[in-house]
Amino acid sequence: TGNSVALTFFQHQDGNANSLNDDNAYYTVEDPEGNIWVGTYGGGINIITRQPNNTYRILNKLNGLHSYPKDSYQKIRTIALDKEGCVWAGTTDGILRMSLKHNKFVCETLENCDDPEHMLGSNDILYMTCDDNGSMWVGTNGEGLSHTIGKDDKGNWMFETFDAQDGL
């Protein structure tokens, strides 16, 4: 007679590596593959994947995301999806850009470019979003609002930043 909605509750369970690795879930996003990315403030990223038998599997640094940093990037405040379907996670340590395609997890840390005029002002990230042109906008803690303007010759992301001197 109508559409039904099924809710599934996920939480951390001590000793269960297939549960969320932290209950402080700050942000979620669904990627083009249908994976749900959960940014936690204390456990880093968790990815909920639907299995063929309609069950779920949770991936995190403890059970499958082996290239995820073990001792940093654990406090995620925001997640955004870019135009290529990659997930950007804003943490208290900087930005990660990740993807999970065909069961292959890729994780890269965004390093600042060498040009001081195009560096991200702070690695303490509060918010991110992708605009219609594909530029990622990054709100930092105390160092203004930045957006991506491309990559330098070494492949590092370059940013244009607006701060108090620009009227913020």
Instruction: Give the pLDDT band of residue 164 (cuts 50, 70, 90).
Output: confident
Residue 40: Cβ within 10 Å count: 21
Closest CA to 63 of 114, 21, 111, 107: 21
Global pTM reads: 0.90
Extract the tokens encoding 71: 């001792």
**Helices first, then strands: H and E counts in the chain:** 0, 12
Q: Residue 22: which H helix or E strand, with range?
A: none
Q: Which residues pair with 87 in a beta bridge?
A: 81, 98
Q: Please say if the pLDDT value at position 1 is more than 70.
A: no
In the three-class reduction of DSSP (H, G, I as helix; E, B as strand; rest coil), residue 13 is classed as coil
Q: How far is CA 8 from CA 2, 18, 37, in A?
A: 20, 15, 15
Q: What per-residue confidence (pLDDT) applies to 59?
A: 95
Tell me the per-residue pLDDT of 56-91, one tens digit each, with 9 for 90 and over. Answer: 899 999 888 999 998 999 999 999 999 999 999 999
